[in-house]
Structure 1
Amino acid sequence: MSKQAILVTAADLAPQALALLQDFEIVYAGKTPQVPDLVALASRHDPVGIIVRYSQITPEVMDAAPSLRVISKHGSGTDTIDKPAAKARGIEVTAAAGANAPAVAEQAMTLLLACAKSVVKLNERMHAGYWDKATHKSVELCGRTVGVVGLGAIGRRFARVAHAMDMRVIGFDPFAKDLPEYVEQVDLATIWRESDAISLHCPLTSENRALVNATTLAACKKGVIIVNTARGGLIDEAALLQALQSGQVASAGLDSFAVEPMTAPHPFHHQPNLVLSPHIGGVTNDAYVNMGIAAAKNVLAVLGAHSLVR
């Protein structure tokens, strides 16, 4: 009897995750799968589960796999999955929530420090033979206020590090409960008004798309630092660029973008005071294993529940 298939929208999966899925046929979609590729593979193998690392999961992909029962995100953000379409078809959508929290929180803090301390600019100057000690002053984060938007596993971990650095932490998350005492829960207006730095850690939804825009940036302190390791769609990129050029935003550190991979040339290229990384906040050896295991366990949990119902 042939094994049921699990489609992985990538070229690989952690060995520890594969061990959990040994009773299934694992079908890889390759390094840069597109929706037509996934439709073709789903039609050919009729997977009962899809583990999503790259590409979009559209209604067409779901319809190509009549046996599909679960779509498991290899990470925390499920905005690449058409969740209403999945719900309409009785397909459960899961996420590996918290599996990459340490990695992404570290990346967010790295970007914040890089912005505050002008790490990239000073490194370039030093390699060019300059010594700017007499003319440069960095930003000291101790005693400054950081606004954290989204207080899930990643946002809370980032907040804990910021608190350990003696920063004042204010946070916005309408769904957060049992927050630590060092996080002051506030509304978004307070985030914009009082933050010296703002770090985004919320999922992308239709309600918060372009959350950081010309209006909200204008409401911020002049010289605010913006950090985004969540989803690129949270920021109106044209508005951020204009705010950087005017000095309203002193610097920004971005690990996610509206279009990925980021197009070249791009208006962000060669922009001073803008630190960029290619959405690698959660790409560490440890996170790769943790997310793979969590995604595999989520698949097994849903399929096990379906078998019990039968």
Structure 2
Amino acid sequence: MSAILVTGADLAQQALDLLQDFDIVYAGKTPTEDDLVALCQQHDPVAIIVRYGKVGAAVMDAAPSLKVISKHGSGTDTIDKVAAKARGVEVVAAAGANAAAVAEQALALLLACAKSVVQLNARMHAGHWDKATHKSVELGGRTMGLVGLGAIGLRFARMADALGLRVIGFDPFAKDLPACVQSVDLATIWRESDAISLHCPLTDENRGMLNAATLAQCKRGVIVVNTARGGLIDEAALLAAVQSGQVMAAGLDSFAVEPMVANHPFHGEPRFILSPHIGGVTGDAYVNMGVGAAKNLLEVLARAPAALAAAS
């Protein structure tokens, strides 16, 4: 029976049902490269489902029967796609499987920033009543700038539109956009947005795209939301922009280094609303991503009869 390696500790039962003809091997919640190499050498999987950790050339070389690497989610930046292509290994992702979950997290962070939800909650629990002194931001009529208009970005766009926001977006690959989204260039995103939300994959070209220079081009008091990848933001520049008031508040679900290190500069900063990269972590998304990852790898393996023959 052929093996499938899961770089995690579990997989939804609905996904396991689809993969019942394979031997499922779990790497645990925090697998290192050495862990994955050892498991590949031991089990020689035909497929890897990527949940946690990174899959690079060393892992692929340890699994000579490997045909496909399937992402449990949409972001494939933890997979060395150049190495995979060179080895004839297909990389697939469960695009859209967690779109609703991540878009809702982005909306939650946006509203938390605009309405000072976290700060007012802390004040209330401490016995304060700030009605006479506090004013929040009203989002209706303001401009929401989106970078990335895939399944998550477009879902969030519809939410923003429902709130009465003008929605502008940048995505060189997006086509047939809904009427609620105006396509613009990045310079317009920085210049016109009252709030900016990032929904694009991380690439070498866009790493650190939100930095001191681009933040300086933004309106003073802009809100920044990131539920995509931490590497899209120069964290030191964002910290300085929040401290100076150029950025009113930042709602972040992803970070340059994860898990976030102890004594991170964002810790203790009241205008940073933080969550531990859990935008896509809901019960429904867990099932959707697992099933999507399973279906994707089975589709690839169906084009590789030898792999399926070994599994049967």
Measured against the shorter chain, the TM-score band is over 0.9
Choose which of 274, 277, 290 in structure 1 pairs with 2:275: 277
Whether 1:145 aligns to 2:139 is: no
1:246 matched residue in structure 2: 244
1:227-242 maps to which residues of 2 (within 5 A)?
A: 227-242=225-240
1:26-175 maps to which residues of 2 (within 5 A)?
A: 26-175=24-173
Which portions of structure 1, spanning 4 or more consecutive aligned residues, are displaced by more than 4 angstroms? none
How far apart are residue 68 of structure 1 and its match? 0.2
Choose which of 177, 188, 191 in structure 2 pairs with 1:190: 188
Choose which of 253, 265, 268 in structure 2 pairs with 1:267: 265
Quick one: which amino acid aligns to residue 105 of structure 1? Answer: A
- Alpha-carbon distance in structure 1 between the residues aligned to 2:242 and 2:162: 29
Quick one: which amino acid aligns to residue 86 of structure 1? Answer: A
Which moves more between the two structures, 300-309 or 64-73? 300-309
How far apart are residue 252 of structure 1 and its match? 0.4
2:206 matched residue in structure 1: 208
Q: Secondary structure at the match of 2:29?
A: coil
Deviations 1:278-305 (A, max 9, x none): 0000000000000000000011000001
Q: Secondary structure at the match of 1:79?
A: coil
Quick one: which amino acid aligns to residue 61 of structure 1? Answer: V
Give the TM-score taking structure 1 as reference length: 0.98
- Alpha-carbon distance in structure 2 between the residues aligned to 1:67 and 1:254: 39
- Alpha-carbon distance in structure 2 between the residues aligned to 1:279 and 1:95: 18
Quick one: which amino acid aligns to residue 13 of structure 1? Answer: L
Q: Secondary structure at the match of 2:304?
A: helix
- Alpha-carbon distance in structure 2 between the residues aligned to 1:182 and 1:20: 38
Give the TM-score taking structure 2 as reference length: 0.98
How far apart are residue 308 of structure 1 and its match? 8.2
RMSD: 1.0
Choose which of 276, 288, 292 in structure 2 pairs with 1:290: 288
- Alpha-carbon distance in structure 1 between the residues aligned to 2:72 and 2:271: 32
How far apart are residue 265 of structure 1 and its match? 1.1
- Alpha-carbon distance in structure 1 between the residues aligned to 2:108 and 2:229: 17
Choose which of 13, 18, 21 in structure 2 pairs with 1:20: 18
How far apart are residue 94 of structure 1 and its match? 0.2
Between the two proteins, the alignment pairs up a number of residues equal to 308
- Alpha-carbon distance in structure 1 between the residues aligned to 2:147 and 2:61: 36
- Alpha-carbon distance in structure 1 between the residues aligned to 2:4 and 2:306: 19
How far apart are residue 150 of structure 1 and its match? 0.1
1:226 matched residue in structure 2: 224
Quick one: which amino acid aligns to residue 287 of structure 2? Answer: V
How far apart are residue 181 of structure 1 and its match? 0.8
Quick one: which amino acid aligns to residue 22 of structure 1? Answer: Q
Q: Secondary structure at the match of 2:4?
A: strand
- Alpha-carbon distance in structure 1 between the residues aligned to 2:286 and 2:260: 22
Q: Secondary structure at the match of 1:305?
A: coil
Unaligned runs of 5+ in 2: none
Q: Secondary structure at the match of 2:156?
A: helix
